[in-house]
A and B are shown apart, each in its own frame.
Chain A
Amino acid sequence: MIAIIDYGVGNIKNVYTAFNNLGFDAVITSEKALIDKSSAIILPGVGAFKDAMDNLYKHHLVNCIRENVDKGKLLFGICLGMQLLFEKSHEDGEWNGLGLLEGEIVRFDDSLKVPHMGWNKLIKAKDDEIVKGINNGEYVYFVHSYYLKAKNKDDIVAFSDYGVKVPAIVRRDNIIGMQFHPEKSGKTGMKLLKNIEEMIK
């Protein structure tokens, strides 16, 4: 069973539906016991960084996530959920994230249209089982105004070009993040989620 963390932000039903349609046994939960029992944790997220972190603390989920990750369980952050994995965000202030990966979340340059909204090409930075069967140039759906400035280039599996190199898929060991919405990225998104499923088994 995989646990999709419900911490009171964003629309997580679509994430659940996508996993469910792929045959995953998924639950939406904020209960520590269920999360501890799960085989993998999905951290979805839409909305503001600070609210999301506040909500994680309010639901006593920060330590719970850390403990599970330390035990080697797969943690998969989507969109804002990916940003939360990192040390710090500059979204309307300066806020600490979960700090599981190194890097900061910064705003796009004003010369670009923001949000970065729509379909953009994935470009692989390295080979990884997450991008198995994905060709360079396949499109995925992004909606975000802030992006990751990674400290370790080696964490970046794929990026997209939006004036700057936008990290699109990150991974370090059992921690994975996608800046775009795989659940909204058509066939390519489904392939990526299937790859995640393979990794959980």
Chain B
Amino acid sequence: MLTKRIIPCLDVDKGRVVKGKKFKDIKDVADPVELAKYYSKNGADELVFYDITASNEDRDIFIDVVERTAENINIPFAIGGGIRSIEDFSKVLRAGADKVSINSAAVKRPELITEAALKFGSQCVVLSMDIKKNGQSWDVYINGGRINTGLNAVEWAIKGEGLGAGEIVLNSIDSDGVKQGYSIEITRRISEIVKIPVVASGGAGKKEDFLEVLKIGKADAALAASVFHYKEIEIKDLKEYLYKNGVEVRRDF
């Protein structure tokens, strides 16, 4: 059977990997290509690079990072952040990325999902959703968690699938960087309702958190950043732990 995937996420700013808390307090961590190589050799199933830069000049540095990464690793990786058009898709795919994730741009213009899926195939269109719980409802946010779109997370996930997304990433804003565990309930609800893979993101602090979101949250993959970057958890050990607890993972790497 298909394994559950473990995905380190690298936030890249001006050619460096950085990490923040609840989308703020950004800290410098490492060289992205070196870190990508390390993860590729040490059990990561996939990588995600988020471009958190703003200027066009920094954007070129990011593309260079993508190209050098593609030349140095042999596992799949996705690109997110600042993707607004089919041209943006083309640019990062040509640089060597396997998938592209869109967030704010998809909310503003949902047809972008369909256009990209038709041109590049659903498998490379990832719908990334920043979500937050307000009362009983989970809402979709854009612009780095600053604007509540008023969209319901479950409804947006279903719509995104219908438009042609091949995968969904759920970033829980409240859990991000807090290391108190993933948002299990919403991950499970969305994973049960859509027929495309769901990646849980935001909140990993210990091995048990991964087990919980993959088993109880029914996520197909779990994404994390700082616990891996700061070596609080080695992916190899995490996978042994998951395997012993009945989760199918790739252990030969």
Chain A residues near B (Cβ < 8 Å):
11, 13-14, 17-18, 21, 46-48, 110, 112-121, 137-139, 141-145, 161-162, 181, 183-190
9 contacts across the A-B interface (CB closer than 8 A) = A48-B118, A112-B195, A115-B123, A117-B220, A118-B197, A119-B2, A119-B3, A137-B252, A183-B74
Instruction: Check A188/B252 contact, CB under 8 A, given A18-B74, A113-B195, A118-B197.
Output: yes
Task: Tell me whether B120 and A17 are in contact (CB under 8 A).
Answer: no
Binding stretch for chain A, among B53-61, B90-98, B101-109: B90-98
Is the Cβ of A120 less than 8 Å from the Cβ of B3?
Answer: yes
Task: Give CA–CA (A142, B5) in the complex, Å.
Answer: 12
7 nearest CB pairs, A to B: A139-B250, A143-B123, A119-B250, A119-B3, A47-B121, A184-B76, A118-B2
B108-147 contact mask (Cβ, 8 Å, vs A): 1 or 0: 0000000000101111100000000000000000000000
Give the bracket for the number of chain B residues in contact with chain A.
Answer: 20 to 34
Among B93, B195, B220, max chain A CB count under 10 A is at: B195
Dominant secondary structure of chain A at its interface with chain B: mixed
Q: Closest residue of chain A to B95, judged by CB? A: A13
Interface residues of B (CB under 8 A from A): 1-3, 5, 40, 45, 70-71, 74-76, 93-94, 96-98, 118, 120-124, 166-167, 195-197, 220-221, 250, 252-253
Q: Which of A14, A141, A145, A187 contacts B96 (CB 8 A)?
A: A14
Q: How far is the CA of A190 from the CA of B120 in the complex (A)?
A: 25
* Chain A residues positioned under 8 Å from B5 (CB to CB): 118-119
Q: Could you say which residues of chain A place their CB within 8 Å of the CB of B3?
A: 118-120, 139
Instruction: Say yes or no: B121 contacts A48, CB within 8 Å.
Output: yes
A112 surroundings in chain B (CB, below 8 A): 195
Q: Which residue of B lies closest to A161 (CB)?
A: B1
A46 touches B124 (CB 8 A): yes
Instruction: Note all chain B residues with C-beta closer than 8 A to A18.
Output: 74
CB atoms of B167 and A186 under 8 A apart? no
Task: Report the bound CA distance from A145 to B195 in whole Å.
Answer: 12
